[in-house]
Structure 1
Amino acid sequence: MKKVLFTAAFAVAGLVSVSAQTSGVEGTVHVGIPVGDASDFSSFNLGVDLAYLHPITSNFKLGAKVGYDHFIAKSDYKDFGGKDFGFIPLAATAKLEFNNNLFIGADLGYAFAATDNIDGGLFWQPKFGYSGSSFDVYAAYKGISVDNDLPNVRNFNADAVSLGFAYKF
């Protein structure tokens, strides 16, 4: 009986450790340079994401992500009352890995405004990079199409070219 319990405990511990190695959870930090409309009033972009990617096939994963993107206002724009602004993107995410550890991926969803006087909008982000066993390094182009219904606030795109680092839990 002791052998059976010991074997069962060992098997459960092994399954837990395998599950932890392939949990599909990724934590990401990224930095970027605003482009397009966002470059008129923002000088820098940074953010964090938390994603869960479920393996569909051996090299394709599909999941969801949530995060926070912060755009830092240009110093000369701040003189005219401009402030930093941020978004909380909620998106579906996909990742296709190749045999040489390279991958392409995409995120698509909605970015909720985390700043007063700005509305949210469509969020999209194609990316490519290198996938290690416990991390990813990638380059991306992020787009947020802000559709303002507020008076005296124009519609704009909060876009950025970014570099990111993801740790796989």
Structure 2
Amino acid sequence: MKSMTKTILALGLMTTGLVSAQSADMKNMLKVGANVGLAVPAENASANLGLDVAYQNLVTPGFGLGIATGYSHFFGKDNNGIKNNDFGVVPVAALIRVYPKQTGFYLGTDLGYGFIVGDKNVASNSTVERPDGGFYIKPEIGYHNRDWNFALQYQKTFTGSTGEIGSQKYSAGALGLGVGYNIPLGK
């Protein structure tokens, strides 16, 4: 719980700094998108579907910082008699993007904490409790223009050994595709 509080406090301070540091030559945008992917490894989930919302401030024309959140729904799957429940991940993360050119390929990542939500237990036929969350990372490589972003991304919430049932490890990770729309917020 202490790491979650520290993460939220750090993101709040960073957001305050970014918002108060805006000037006429900085560009700000709201990024709204969706993603779909395959769970990896696919032990307790088969696929995911999610929505993303982020605020980005272009510190320089080729470098953006911001905050990101959203919701990713993971679809549980049966695994050798274990009836895994669906669950969701709600990230609270810092957003980092590098744009080598005005239009073209970009690199980025979201780093923060992923809250895992849903049924209390990992599986409907087990009493093992699911993890509450963990360190969250979402690296991506993609193509961007003024309005759109298209990306190949990997998202993972690290849970340690919490939620394991026998030889089945608990995984909140997915490899997928994302699309996002940029809404300008002024200069």
TM-score by length of structure 1 reads 0.77
**Runs of at least 5 residues in structure 2 that lack an aligned partner in the other structure:** 1-23, 121-128
Judge which range, 118-127 or 150-159, deviates more.
150-159
Offset, 1:81: 3.5
C-alpha distance 152-33 of structure 1, shift in aligned 2 (>3 A):
closer
Q: Deviations over 1:79-114 (max 9, x none)?
A: 644211111111001110122521000110000111
| Inter-partner Cα distance in structure 2 for 1:168 and 1:122 | 26
Change (3 A) 1:127 1:79: same
Corresponding position of 1:129: 142
Residue identity opposite 1:164 in structure 2: G
* 1:42 to partner: Cα distance: 1.2
Correspondence 1:18-167 to 2 at 5 A: 23-36=28-41, 39-74=42-77, 76-77=78-79, 80-99=82-101, 100-115=103-118, 116=120, 117-119=129-131, 120-147=133-160, 156-167=170-181
SS at match of 1:110: strand
Work out whether residues 71 and 84 of structure 1, in 8 Å CA contact, stay in contact via their aligned partners in 2.
Answer: yes
The structure that has the greater radius of gyration is 1
Q: Deviations over 1:10-47 (max 9, x none)?
A: xxxxxxxxx9xx541000100001112xx012111111
TM-score normalised to the size of structure 2? 0.70
Between 1:156-165 and 1:59-68, the stretch displaced more is 156-165
Asked if the contact 1:96–1:104 (Cα under 8 Å) also holds between the matched residues in 2, the reply is yes
How many residues align? The count is: 146
- Could you tell me which runs of 5 or more consecutive residues in structure 1 were left unpaired when the two chains were aligned: 1-18
- Partners of 2:91 and 2:115 within 8 A in 1: yes
User: 1:145–1:156: 8 Å Cα contact kept in structure 2?
Assistant: no
Distance 2:36 2:171 in 1: 18
Q: Letter of the aligned partner of 1:110 in structure 2?
A: Y
More helix by share: 1
* Percent of paired sites with the same residue: 29
Q: What is the root-mean-square deviation in Å for CA atoms of aligned residues?
A: 2.4
Q: Is the 8 A contact 1:110 1:122 kept in 2?
A: yes
Q: Which amino acid aligns with 1:95?
A: R
Query: Given that residues 55 and 61 in structure 1 are in contact (C-alpha distance below 8 angstroms), is that contact kept between their aligned partners in structure 2?
Result: yes
CA distance in 2, matches of 1:31, 1:78: 25
Cα separation, partners in 2 of 1:24 and 1:56, compared to 1, 3 Å = same
- Aligned residue identity for 1:98: P
Check the 8 A contact 2:44/2:171 in 1, yes or no. Answer: no
Structure 1 residue 151, shift from structure 2 partner: 9.4
Shift of 1:148: 6.1
